[in-house]
Chains A and B, each alone.
Chain A
Amino acid sequence: MCLQPVLFFWVKVFKGRSGSISTGFFELNDRGNDVSFFRRMLLVGLIGFHVPITQAEMNIEITEGIESAMPIAVVPFGFQGTAGMPVNIGSIVNSDLGRSGYFKTLDEQSMLSRPSTAEEVRFNEWQSLGQNYLVIGQVAEEAGQYNIQFQVFDIYKGTQVLGYRMVSPPPELRRTAHQISDIIFEKLTGNKGVFSGRIIYITSQSQGKNQRIHRLQVADADGFNPQTIASSPEPLMSPAWSPDGRKVAYVSFERKTAGIYVQTLATGERQKVAEFPGINGAPAWSPDGQKLALTLSKDGNPDIYVLNLSTRSLTKLTQSYSIDTEPSWSPDGSQIVFTSDRGGKPQLYIMPSSGGGEKRLTFTGDYNAGASFSPDGKNIAMVHGNRGDYRIAVMDLATRTVNVLTEGRLDESPSFAPNSNLILYASRKGGTGYLSAVSIDGKMQQKLVFDSSEVREPAWSP
């Protein structure tokens, strides 16, 4: 290819003498001599230079991949001590990671070996089982405490991803196991884990002959170790965690009329903060923990008020002939989202937390209520209803687009997890209520099963 212009040149140089062959470029004057020798050289040199000097490297495009949970194997932790391990840490980590929906855990029977130190790991063995990551650990009993160490390996790279050592007293072992799950989850998915948090919810049990007992319970995020913090034959509703996680505000009908109580979890003491005539409901803590937004109907119809907990002063925020309820503060404390039917049907509105200037937020569906701000302030979760089918949806505040995440038909009480990624909510199927969690992109779903009959109104600890 590159030689052709050279040959052409050659021919021209010699042939040009004798004949009158000429092209536009390779001109000859009347005498048959070369017109411009250098012009020819330059031209050919430039043409000749299209010889490729380096070859372009091949590139293969990968555009699909598969949407699947990441295969991970959590090996039962090794134990050194007198009696057996009181808490099976490996199995708690295994359940947490598997329940999150992001990971596909390997069952113990399929494991070919059970290493507990780095030297015992054979990477090609785990590769043959198709695992991407491996978690191993050891627990050693020492002077009444437990020394725990764990390591996570990337199976295909053959390297350690992380490794930690921690000390835990016996009563904290479950919590430590959940913390281990959090650390692993955050490193491998980029999202903060919420396994070591707690949840609060209301259960309702029938006692026969039209008697029910209502309980307010706090449990670990996996439903373990539930503790009743309040119980009453009359309904309990709307539990709300304070921002520091130490107190809970809720509505109780124990005195046959609605009252809002604030209870300190560690001591069990509580204070009644509101018992106005009419409705007292939907308490929502301000981010600084000093105020509660409430719904009160003492002035005629339900409106949103803000109660200062130290001064007990009350500020009225909304003033309308419609029902305004279910306030939720933005994480910076500057705005409040609430439900109002001033447009005819329940929809979400937003206003500054000082009151006034209400603006409508939701325009799709015939029912939008139960708003909950995400801790990072970017999204609002809500109950989105259409002709009796109620589902959990999320609105992106930047784009105002609404995504429906769940399948309904009776989903309610959405509450964001502290990592702004998971949403806890209550659902009913076949007459019983249970709790579920869904990720904000709708891809991961988990169901939390409780052995009590009806579970409602969950809230995730901050």
Chain B
Amino acid sequence: MDSQKRFVWPFILALALHVVLFSLFALSFDTKPKESSEPAPEIIQASLEEIDVPPEADARPEKQDESRVEQQKAAEEKRQQLAEQQKAEAAKAAAEKAEAERAAAAEKASAQAEAERMAAAKAAAEQAEIAKAKAVVEAAKAKAAAEKAAAEKAAEKAEAARAKAAAEKAAAQKAAAQKAAAEKAAAEKAEAARAKAAAEKAAVEKAAAEKAAAKKAEAARVKAAAEKAAAEKAAAEKAAAAKAEAERMAAAKAAAEQAESAKAKAAAEAARAAKAAAGENAKNAIQKKVNNSWIRSPSATTGMKCTIKVRLTSGGQVIGEPVIIASSGDEIFDNSAVNAVLKAQPLPVPTDRELFNKEFRSFTFTFEPRG
């Protein structure tokens, strides 16, 4: 019991220490920066400065202003004159236009009177023609009416003869129908008796058939039960066999997986080594490309040092502008360094995502010419 108690404190302290260490370990991970989209190259609106204009140029514009005012006044006057002239001309034109319109109206009236006279004469002639025609039509109408009356009389006579013949035909038909009906009733009676006999026969046969069917069904049921039992047995056997198969396969799979994992581990090791090499290669490639793009400024001397920080997209493009974190003191040297980095885009960063994020997403260049 005593020893148990003595374990409590160390246990608690050990736990606390573990917690602290784990939290430190967790904090050691860098937070992943968000990947921003590449900015489009901007064309920045140029702002221009003016250098001092020599004094002679200033004196001249003043004189020009004075004469310009006078010129403007004269122009105004001229403009007014022109306006008045234009107004007089416009009035004259209006008067002339009214005259012309009046003359035109008078002509139109006389022409119209002529036309009316001619129209009246034409109308009178037409009316005489119409009266003549009407008389002819009426004569024809009277003749037609007389002919119609004669025809009607003849038609009436024919109708009376026809009616008589029809009545005789109808009487004969009625007698024939009555005969036919009596014959039909006798035939129906005989049919009914026959049908009844047939029905009784059918009923007897039906009963016999039902019995036979019941027997058959029984036999079928027994057979089905037997078949079911057999089927179940077969299924059970199949299941057992399948289970055995599955177990066999599982065992084989486990063995294969083990082999796989061993292989994977070896592959992972190789990949890690390759990644490290890829990182070195990328670093050298970037160094070479920037060196080839760096046109040293004429002021570059050994001892100058400039440090630039860049952030890259996964394609090797610089995000925003490289930031000078340590200037060399010479603006032109710093500029040449920034230009070198921008000119070397796209930088040959490694394709492996994890390696890129770890080392190549954000890093620095130090420009230090040596000889």
Contact = CB atoms under 8 A, between A and B. Distances in A.
Interface in A23-79: 34, 37, 41, 44-45, 48-49, 51-55, 57-71
A364 interface: no
Contacts of B27: 53
Contacts of A3: 21
Nearest to B61: A143
Interface string B340-371: 10110000000000000011101111111110
For chain A, what secondary structure do more than half of its interface residues adopt (helix, strand, loop), or is it mixed? mixed
A85 B330 CA distance: 39
B50 A62 contact: no
Contact of B48 (A48, A163, A167, A443): A163
Interface range, A side: 35 or more
Q: Looking at A55, A60, A164, which has the most chain B CB atoms within 10 Å of its CB? A: A60
B18 A6 contact: yes
A154 B339 contact: yes
Given A45-B17, A66-B296, A60 B330 contact: no
A58 B53 contact: no
A158 B41 CA distance: 7
A13 interface: yes
A372 B218 CA distance: 139
Contacts of B10: 13, 34, 37
A387 interface: no
Interface residues of B, number: 67
Interface stretch (A187-195, A287-295, A307-315): A187-195
Nearest to A10: B14
Interface stretch (A119-127, A199-207, A211-219, A318-326): A119-127
Contacts of B286: 60
B294 A57 contact: no
Given A13-B14, A59-B366, A132-B295, A159 B44 contact: yes
Contacts of A118: 43-46
Contact of A63 (B9, B42, B57, B369): B369
Contact of B343 (A14, A156, A190): A156
A58 B295 contact: no
A354 interface: no
A14 B366 CA distance: 53
Contacts of A71: 295
B24 A63 contact: no
Interface string A158-174: 11100111110000000
Interface string B1-36: 001000101100110011011001101101000000
A145 B331 CA distance: 36
A60 B14 contact: no
A44 B331 CA distance: 51
A160 B291 contact: no
Interface string A251-264: 00000000000000
A6 B343 CA distance: 51
A2 interface: yes
A60 B290 contact: yes
A167 B43 contact: no
Contact of A58 (B50, B360, B370): B360
A44 B17 contact: yes
Nearest to B3: A17
Contacts of B292: 66
A167 B56 CA distance: 12
B338 A62 contact: no
B300 interface: yes
Given A60-B290, A158-B44, A164 B364 contact: no
A149 interface: yes
Interface in B36-82: 41-51, 53-54, 57
A441 interface: yes
A151 B13 contact: no
A145 B57 CA distance: 10
Q: Looking at A58, A124, A149, A167, which has the most chain B CB atoms within 10 Å of its CB? A: A58
A156 B339 contact: yes
B297 interface: yes
A124 B41 contact: yes
A158 B339 CA distance: 11
A9 interface: yes
A51 B21 contact: yes
B112 interface: no
B332 interface: yes
B178 interface: no
A158 B43 contact: yes
Contacts of A209: none
B363 A59 contact: yes
Contacts of A63: 291, 367-370
Interface string A114-144: 0000110111100100001000000000000
Given A9-B14, A157-B339, A64 B50 contact: no
Contacts of B295: 65-71, 132
Contacts of B337: 62
Nearest to B279: A58
B368 A60 contact: no
Interface in A423-462: 439, 441, 443-444
Contact of B296 (A10, A67, A119, A158): A67
Given A57-B362, A63-B367, A118-B46, 9 more contacts: A2-B21, A44-B17, A55-B30, A62-B287, A66-B296, A123-B43, A164-B50, A165-B51, A190-B298
The 5 A-B residue pairs with the shortest CB-CB distance in the complex, in nearest-first order: A65-B294, A156-B342, A118-B46, A58-B363, A163-B48
Interface of A: 2-3, 6, 9-10, 13-14, 17, 34, 37, 41, 44-45, 48-49, 51-55, 57-71, 102, 118-119, 121-124, 127, 132, 145, 149, 151, 154, 156-160, 163-167, 188-191, 439, 441, 443-444
